[in-house]
Amino acid sequence: MAFSMFLRNQACTSRIFTQQVMRLATQPALAHRTVASTLPVRSLAIKDAKLTPILNAVRSLRSSAVRMSAEKGHDHSKLWVVERAVSAALIPLIPIALLIPNKLFDSLMAILITAHSFWGLEAIAVDYVRASLFGPVIPKIAIGLVYLLSFATLGGLFYIITHDIGLANSIRQFWSVKSEQKA
């Protein structure tokens, strides 16, 4: 895409640049080899394939409209707003949950922390474990592991909330153990 943007640049659309590219592209040996190897089979049915410039092949790589425009599109801007709302809600929720420990604040904090962590880990898995680098199977395994880790985290936090002293009290107890060891 960056290359196609470069070709749309004013310097690349000038008459002198176009003439130089056309002269290079229409050289018989280079044009036949490059056009035959880069263009789709249906475009080889052109009358004189030896004189077809490479520039036309490059222009066909331009960015186009969204392929799935006929299908129902996904509105990721709403998810972005929800992610930011969860992040903003965690700022006052964590101190409130630590000051007033109860199951409601603990549960809300567990859900929001897990959702926040899930979206971050999912973004990492999608961005860095791509099918073009690892093949079609490993990215699916990575996303599956993100889901598994998120479910296990939420389940563990709810277990602490319901069967133990609670999330906020666990954090308080952890801090008190640390401070007693120093003294």
- The whole-angstrom separation of Cα 144 and Cα 137 is 11
- Residue 50: closest CA among 30, 74, 75, 71: 30
- Residue 147: closest CA among 123, 118, 111, 169: 118
116 annotated to bind ligand: yes
128 annotated to bind ligand: yes
* Structure tokens given for 54: 């490479």
Question: HSE of 10 in the Cβ direction (CA atoms, 13 Å)?
Answer: 0
By the 8 A CB rule, do 44 and 36 touch?
Answer: yes
**Which residues fall in the annotated binding site for heme b?**
116
Q: Residue ranges for the binding site for a ubiquinone?
A: 128
